[in-house]
């Protein structure tokens, strides 16, 4: 039922944009619309059945798991692009949007379409995917709960003498053991001076007393991602370490209090950024405040200084201010949250 609704909504948008069909290649877009992750191409005409082109390796699986589409087998030795092209010509489609295509394929397609219009239309998928429905929210909540458990485990095992990779392994094992379908992205555990690298370094360092340690992890459930970061000081900690830690916590709170449906994403970024600037660390907050999350770990809307996005009820986003001082270390606190018209609902649990 949910797939029918999603495809119906997509058709309305495609019609609104003045196209007769949309051709999808992005596996997450295809999964979103059919429940099947390994389709090669999905052609959704505004009239008539949608067709999922599947290579022979995935054909049997597709017949069992793909919903609401005709499944077309692409045999070994056949080119999916050719099959799609033939179907477009057979059906006499005169205007086709697409989500993504490499330049060579696009050129070939354009030259073979007898003058039919073919143009990028990926935005319509994002306009749907950025508002999560109930089914999606249930899966993201589950991913967030698994992530929170992984984080508790990571915090439990951190002590002087433990290597970053051991902490990562414990967090990932805990999530996997409890039902995570894999990691949403490569786990980051970075300690001491290396915590000043927002995406981590080698992940091999031995954690020592007095280190700042950043742990950034995400579980995945039925394809849906969560994202969470905590920073701790091992042992006592210096004045400056405690200060930047307190500051990112406060900045996250300030930002969360601003978030609700109808607010400009860049204003939320600025609320957090302003506090960090006023405390003299502005130049060390080197990334945007957050990002949308769902089937992709980074997706629209974007919470950053240049964002044109308006936050809407049903968006799921991260809120993750950070301060990174080269040579000294860094701090970041991140949660995955659901936007409603009144406020945010935190989906990752507070483990502090
Ligand atoms: Mn993130």
**pTM of structure:** 0.95
CA of residue 207 to ligand 1 center, whole Å:
23
CA of residue 70 to ligand 1 center, whole Å:
37
- From the options 3.20.20.10, 3.40.50.11540, 3.90.230.10, 1.25.40.420, give the CATH code of 134-346: 3.90.230.10
CATH superfamily of 2-129: Creatinase/prolidase N-terminal domain (3.40.350.10)
H/E stretch holding 27 reads helix 27-34
30: exposed, middle or buried (Cβ count in 10 Å: 0-12, 13-18, 19+) = buried
User: For residue 285, what are its two tokens?
Assistant: 């907050």
pLDDT digits (tens, 9 = 90+) for 271-319: 999 999 999 999 999 999 999 999 999 999 999 999 999 999 999 999 9
pLDDT digits (tens, 9 = 90+) for 126-156: 999 999 999 999 999 999 999 999 999 999 9
pLDDT band at residue 350 under the 50/70/90 scheme: low
CA of residue 290 to ligand 1 center, whole Å:
6
- Delimiting residues of CATH 3.90.230.10 domain(s) in the chain: 134-346
CA of residue 224 to ligand 1 center, whole Å:
14
Bridge partners, 163 (sequence order): 206
Token pair 């429905």: residue: 133
Outline where 57-163 has alpha helix (H). Answer: 59-65, 80-91, 103-112, 122-129, 134-157
CA of residue 162 to ligand 1 center, whole Å:
25
CA of residue 331 to ligand 1 center, whole Å:
13
pLDDT-above-90 percentage for the chain: 97
- Separation CA 284–CA 274 (nearest Å): 12
Query: For residue 183, which of 197, 169, 199, 162 has the smallest C-alpha distance?
Result: 169
CA of residue 130 to ligand 1 center, whole Å:
16
- Delimiting residues of CATH 3.40.350.10 domain(s) in the chain: 2-129
């Amino acid at each position: 039922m949910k797939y029918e609704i999603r495809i119906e909504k997509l058709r309305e948008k495609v019609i609104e944009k003045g196209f007769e069909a949309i051709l999808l290649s992005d596996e997450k877009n295809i999964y979103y619309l059919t429940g099947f992750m390994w389709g090669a191409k999905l052609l959704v005409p505004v009239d008539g059945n949608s067709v999922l082109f599947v290579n022979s390796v995935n054909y049997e699986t597709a017949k069992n798991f793909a919903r609401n589409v005709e499944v077309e087998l692409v045999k070994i030795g056949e080119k999916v692009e050719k099959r799609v092209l033939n179907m477009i010509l057979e059906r006499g489609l005169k205007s086709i949007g697409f989500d993504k295509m490499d330049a060579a394929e696009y050129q070939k397609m354009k030259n073979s379409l007898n003058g039919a219009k073919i143009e990028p239309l990926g935005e319509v998928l994002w306009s749907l995917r950025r508002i999560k429905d109930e089914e999606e929210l249930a899966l993201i909540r589950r991913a967030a709960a698994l992530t929170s458990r992984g984080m508790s485990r990571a915090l439990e095992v951190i002590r002087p003498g433990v290597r970053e990779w051991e902490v990562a392994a414990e967090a990932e094992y805990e999530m996997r053991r409890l039902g995570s379908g894999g990691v949403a992205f490569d786990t980051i555990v970075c300690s001491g001076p290396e915590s000043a690298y927002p995406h981590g370094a080698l992940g091999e360092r031995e954690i020592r007393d007095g280190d700042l340690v950043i742990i950034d992890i995400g579980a995945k459930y039925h394809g849906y991602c969560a994202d969470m970061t905590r920073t701790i000081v091992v042992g006592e900690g210096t004045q400056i370490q405690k200060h930047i830690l307190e500051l990112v916590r406060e900045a996250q709170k300030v930002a969360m209090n601003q978030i609700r449906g109808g607010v400009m994403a860049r204003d939320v970024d600025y609320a957090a950024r302003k506090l960090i600037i006023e405390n003299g660390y502005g130049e060390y907050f080197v990334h945007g405040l957050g990002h949308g999350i769902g089937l992709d770990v980074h997706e629209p809307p974007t919470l950053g200084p240049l964002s044109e996005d308006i936050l809407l009820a049903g968006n799921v986003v991260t809120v993750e201010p950070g301060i990174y001082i080269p040579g000294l270390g860094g701090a970041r606190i991140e949660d995955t949250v659901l936007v409603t018209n009144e406020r945010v609902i935190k989906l990752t649990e507070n483990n502090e």
